[in-house]
Amino acid sequence: MWRHGERCVILAVAAVALVAAATATAAAAVGGERRTYIVHMSRSAKPNDFVEHGEWYAASLQSVSDAATVLYTYDTLVHGYSARLTRAEAEALESQPGVLLVNPEVRYELHTTRTPEFLGLDRTDALFPQSNTGSDVIVGVLDTGVWPERPSYDDAGLGPVPAGWKGKCEEGNDFNASACNKKLIGARFFLTGYEAAKGPVDTSKESRSPRDNDGHGTHTSSTAAGSAVRGADLLGYAAGTAKGMAPHARVATYKVCWVGGCFSSDILKAMEVAVNDGVDVLSLSLGGGTADYYRDSIAVGAYSAMERGIFVSCSAGNAGPGSATLSNGAPWITTVGAGTLDRDFPAHVVLGNGKNYSGVSLYSGKQLPTTPVPFIYAGNASNSSMGALCMSGSLIPEKVAGKIVLCDRGTNARVQKGFVVKDAGGAGMVLANTAANGEELVADAHVLPGAGVGQKAGDTMRAYSLSDPNPTASIVFAGTQVGIQPSPVVAAFSSRGPNTVTPGILKPDLIAPGVNILAAWSGSVGPSGLAGDSRRVGFNIISGTSMSCPHVSGLAALLRAAHQDWSPAAIRSALMTTSYNGYPNGNGILDVATGLPATPLDVGAGHVDPSKAVDPGLVYDIAAADYVDFLCAINYGPMQIAALTKHTTDACSGNRTYAVTALNYPSFSVTFPATGGTEKHTRTVTNVGQPGTYKVTASAAAGSTPVTVSVEPSTLTFTKSGEKQSYTVSFAAAAMPSGTNGFGRLVWSSDHHVVSSPIAVTWT
């Protein structure tokens, strides 16, 4: 997510918008170097000599290593275990009978209030008449833990913990079982894999417990299902009532992320425990790059969770605006990108030449003098080649003392640059975007008077500071403003499609609010998350797909409460087919990175609209068996499918033809060769509304070149709820240069409902 600055260079089933792409836990093991591997076993292959599967797992491990021990045993979501092995031991183990796959562990990274009103949820009980039953819905959040004392976890008005709940509140340093209540009904932590890779947790820096010393986990879980808190704000900004999307739902947190990252062996075990505990929704604002689904621990765990009726939502990542940058693209995961709210925190930078430039800031403290202050570009106040970035120790105090310093954004954290300026005696800071960030603005709680501005303004200010013999500037902070238009716009950092693992599945699925989101925060760190920030706040404003993901998780909890018989696929379908991709004036949602209308590769189906999702009319449902057919269609072999599904028999029949285009997804991703051609998709819709007749409209084009879209039949009539009807879509296109994209929409309309699906067309 876009945490408190570029703590990671890029910043991205929830970290304060951190980097989306995960890196391998370590470089490929060589020689005798050990790393963690996850061993997938065929449960039915256990020899009769062993009574328990755990005994068999231990024996298989001992057959290749005298030194290795089992870290975790996995019994439900997957069958197998994790252990520290050399590469040679892992290869030897993979050749043993009963072993399906041996996958190296991956380190995942975190993808780091006005929102209910913006989404039309200020009248939740009226929109979701069953929302009071939402108190029986449990949202599980895998993240950095929880700060349980925050009022967002107040359980006033909630009844007993739902029957059948098996979770618990685990104790550790600075965390007692009494920290949980009828709102926060579970809190666990997982670090066996982390400590095996990184060594013991340093308890002087973080709690060896469910306690959140980072802030990200508290922010995401309270965004999803936090109780209503009056008088919430960050340093006076965004004042009002803060509440989660599903304020009556229960929360269970699973701490899997530590100072050194989030490790897949811990994540997979936490997902297994969460499913066994009894969660209804899993929210993961984590990312691990892209890999085949059977090698992606989140995808593996999410598949089994889906089989048990659990909705899994994940952040798309913060690696945008480049194409093909998203993670968590498995079709059984709901993949969420980020957009803005209609709220902003403007700050105005006025130069000595009278020019005024708009930026953003969450600074609260002593103001600058009312008269202009000397202004200098950091690149001219340093002897370092990195001086323009305001890196630690790079500024010459004699040149910046008492001045506003213009710093280039990038490399080190945004707020960290303010510390550097302040330590050198500077009076204020303007943080200027470079080409890497363009015009996207993310507000920060700076430690000195400071504001962020876009690239164009930064370039102009830089030129002014270098050309004027006595440059001056001032910064005026304008507080909180709402009603900003246009909104939403797609965040530049939000990761984009196409889906590199399976281009035939359009991702992301949709976008939700993910920029400048106010939610609860840890008491261990300041709003910047930096070690030198001594400020402590109850709420913080941060940005990232880490923030948009829990919005959708909470909305899924509302839909689960209102429609308890809906599958995870039906819930996702309702959210997608009722999303909007344009403004009331008819113009398309804009992409802040380009200033142009966004495409389905940026927003999927569009921006979530919960007031319509509760009554979608039709849904595209998908059963577990349909996903198995999909795996056959992408040519996964028996062991790869078994690692995902635990089906030990050959799931793919030689007598059948499998096609990705047959997966009943609520969107269409069409691929043509450069020479053009045809492609046919089949879909089935289920009526979940009143009887009615739906008529279809469909079109797509690449610029001015149309794509022929034919739907048969063109009319669907439903006489009762639960009735299913199928249709076929045929796409045809002429030759186009390789890499060309086209877009469109297929819409079924009745007297009461509009069921809309995006179309993305690519010539390869």
Q: Could you say which of 82, 474, 495, 546 is catalytic? A: 546
The whole-number pLDDT of residue 121 equals 60
Q: Are strands 35-41 and 99-104 parallel, antiparallel or unpaired?
A: antiparallel
Q: Which CATH fold topology does 35-104 show?
A: Alpha-Beta Plaits (3.30.70)
Q: Is residue 220 scored above 60 in pLDDT?
A: yes
Burial class (CB in 10 A: 0-12, 13-18, 19+), 178: exposed
Residue-wise pLDDT for 15-24, tens only, equals 333 333 333 3
* In the block, residue with structure tokens 């304020």: 247
**Residue 607 annotated in active site:** no
**Residue 546 annotated in active site:** yes
**Residue 565 annotated in active site:** no
Q: Could you say which of 111, 216, 446, 607 is catalytic? A: 216
Q: Is residue 394 scored above 70 in pLDDT?
A: yes
Q: Is residue 12 scored above 50 in pLDDT?
A: no
Rounded average pLDDT over 223-250: 95
Mean pLDDT of the chain: 91
Q: Are 748 and 755 in contact (CB under 8 A)?
A: yes
Burial class (CB in 10 A: 0-12, 13-18, 19+), 205: exposed
Question: In this structure, what token pair is assigned to residue 248?
Answer: 């009556």
Q: Which CATH fold topology does 346-477 show?
A: Glucose Oxidase; domain 1 (3.50.30)
All CATH 3.40.50.200 domain ranges in the chain, comma separated: 108-338+488-614
Highest mean pLDDT among 382-386, 410-414, 715-719: 715-719
All CATH 2.60.40.2310 domain ranges in the chain, comma separated: 664-763
Q: Which CATH fold topology does 664-763 show?
A: Immunoglobulin-like (2.60.40)
**HEC profile for 16-72?**
CCCCCCCEECCCCCCCCCCEEEEEEECHHHCCCCCCCHHHHHHHHHHCCCCCCCEEE
* In the block, residue with structure tokens 């005298």: 66
The whole-number pLDDT of residue 14 equals 38
The whole-number pLDDT of residue 278 equals 98
Q: Could you say which of 60, 65, 143, 152 is catalytic? A: 143
All CATH 3.50.30.30 domain ranges in the chain, comma separated: 346-477
The CATH architecture assigned to 108-338+488-614 reads 3-Layer(aba) Sandwich (3.40)
All CATH 3.30.70 domain ranges in the chain, comma separated: 35-104
Residue-wise pLDDT for 641-659, tens only, equals 999 998 766 789 888 999 9
Closest CA to 193 of 271, 253, 100: 271
Residue-wise pLDDT for 139-169, tens only, equals 999 999 999 999 999 999 999 999 999 999 9
